[in-house]
Amino acid sequence: MKIPRGFLFSTAGAGIKKPGRQDLALISSVETAVCAGMFTRNKIKGAPVKLDIERIRSGKARAIIANSGNANVCTGKQGLLDAREMALIAAKGLGIDENLVFVCSTGVIGAPLPMERIRPRIAEMAENIGRAGIEDAARAIMTTDTFPKTASKSLRIAGREVRIAGIAKGSGMIHPDMATMLSFIITDLAIGKGAIGKGLLQRALKASVEKSFNRVTVDGDTSTSDTVLIMANGLAGNPPLTGPGKDYAVFAQALDHVALELAAMVAADGEGATKLIRVLVKGAASKKDALRGAFAVANSPLVKTAFYGNDANWGRIMAALGKSGIAIEEEKVDIHLERLKLVNKGVSTGKDAPAADLLRKNKEIGLTIDLNLGPWSEKVLTCDLTGEYVAINAEYRT
């Protein structure tokens, strides 16, 4: 994995939720980077999200400080003070402007941050900057994730190699309504300074998020902390991007790739999940119908538990489509599991046994629903619903 030039990492353990693990990460760029971000649309937003939404206006960043174990949400004025202080300590340690530091917290809602334990560790991280790798940072932001999530891609612009790398964390309270969980993407791409570069980077990020993180659902619950940030520090030395065109398209495509890879990992690592399910609704009468239908299927507890039980219970898929409010004609619907046709014109093809086999054998499975009503299609990623999801979330705070 090629790390974009000029980005440094550091992690530390502050025992925020429990002792014994790295739960703080610091990502820093040696140069001021152009920065764009997308944030949760949940009306209840964490203190760090509120701070970042203010700071993103400048379109500039030098560092991201993130912690897991506590989301710093519903923590009143003290929560905002704590978020600001986290940035301030990191800025002092790195010798940079505090307004260029972004803060992200993930974990339990409603508990004050244990700042007495966090403060000394942030200062320590700033001192140790560069001693950790990107995967260490990915690991430090994990909550119920079972593996760290990283992805990368290189591209060429005017003969220069441009690198993109990203990290993300899931893995519950996942339902996109702008951005997602936490994801930090770094690139050494050079992009115009000021409003032009900021606008262009935001545009690329928004398009990528729309295709990736905004097409993932684990449990239909939208987090209060969802944040995606991208920093572009220019060290690739390419002629700075200043508008749409071929170079922008190449970059945007590579960014899509990184975001999609991270999003698929988030779905595959959904709490308790045993399967990644790719739900494709096609033949819809409108784009909105395609998306709504795909999410209705992807969020149906009955569909998700059936997949867990290796039962391609297509009746539940039909019920989920029917309740979603989209245009649907029962006698036109075809459903495939991979290439196996389960439903032909609304009725069973009697393929339950081979479908169960397919589900037993595959950790990743494609479900294709053709409404045969129009030209629109949408794809959504989800996972199965298991007893382990319940166990994780029944015991999360205890």
Q: Which stretch binds a second copy (CB under 8 A): 107-115, 196-204, 238-246, 259-267?
A: 107-115
Of the candidates 85, 65, 176, 188, the one whose C-alpha atom is nearest the C-alpha of residue 126 is: 65
Of 154 and 313, the one with the shorter C-beta distance to a second copy is 313
- How many residues touch a second copy under the rule CB under 8 A: the total is 66
Window 12-41: contact mask with a second copy (x via CB under 8 A): -----------------------------x
The b/e string for 203-226 (b: 16+ C-beta within 10 A; e otherwise) is: ebbbebbbebbbbbbbbeebbbbb
Of 192 and 322, the one with the shorter C-beta distance to a second copy is 322
d(CA 218, CA 272): 10
Smallest distance from the beta carbon of 162 to a second copy, in angstroms?
36
Binding positions for a second copy, 163-222, rule CB under 8 A: 172-173, 175, 177, 219-222
Smallest distance from the beta carbon of 314 to a second copy, in angstroms?
6
Smallest distance from the beta carbon of 147 to a second copy, in angstroms?
22
Q: Which DSSP string do the residues of 221-239 spell out, in sequence order? A: PPPSS-EEEEEE--TT-PP
Smallest distance from the beta carbon of 302 to a second copy, in angstroms?
5
Of the candidates 231, 267, 228, the one whose C-alpha atom is nearest the C-alpha of residue 4 is: 231
Among 32, 128, 305, 362, binds a second copy (CB under 8 A): 305
Of 97 and 311, the one with the shorter C-beta distance to a second copy is 311
Instruction: At 68, give phi and psi (nearest 5°).
Output: -110, 170
Catalytic residue among 40, 75, 143, 180: 180
Helix, strand, coil percentages, rounded to 5, for the chain: 40, 30, 35
Number of C-beta neighbours around residue 268 at 10 A: 23
Give yes or no for a contact between 217 and 295, defined as CB atoms under 8 angstroms apart. yes
Window 369-398: contact mask with a second copy (x via CB under 8 A): ----------------xxx-xxxxxxxxxx
Q: Which DSSP string do the residues of 235-294 spell out, in sequence order? A: TT-PPPB-SSSHHHHHHHHHHHHHHHHHHHHHHHTSTT---EEEEEEEEESSHHHHHHHH
d(CA 155, CA 153): 7
Window 57-76: contact mask with a second copy (x via CB under 8 A): --------------x-xxxx
Burial of 69 by CB count in 10 Å (0-12 exposed, 13-18 middle, 19+ buried)? buried
Whether residue 180 lies in the annotated active site = yes
Among 97, 311, 338, 357, binds a second copy (CB under 8 A): 311
Among 314, 365, 376, 382, binds a second copy (CB under 8 A): 314
Smallest distance from the beta carbon of 347 to a second copy, in angstroms?
5
Of 28 and 224, the one with the shorter C-beta distance to a second copy is 224
Q: Which stretch binds a second copy (CB under 8 A): 1-9, 131-139, 308-316, 372-380?
A: 308-316
45 binding a second copy? (CB under 8 A):
yes
Cα separations (Å) of 256 from 157, 162, 250?
16, 15, 10
Give yes or no for a contact between 63 and 101, defined as CB atoms under 8 angstroms apart. yes
- Which residues here bind a second copy, judged by CB under 8 A? 41-45, 71, 73-76, 108-111, 172-173, 175, 177, 219-224, 299-302, 305-306, 308-309, 311, 313-316, 318-323, 325-326, 328, 330-331, 343, 346-348, 352, 385-387, 389-398
The catalytic residues are: 180
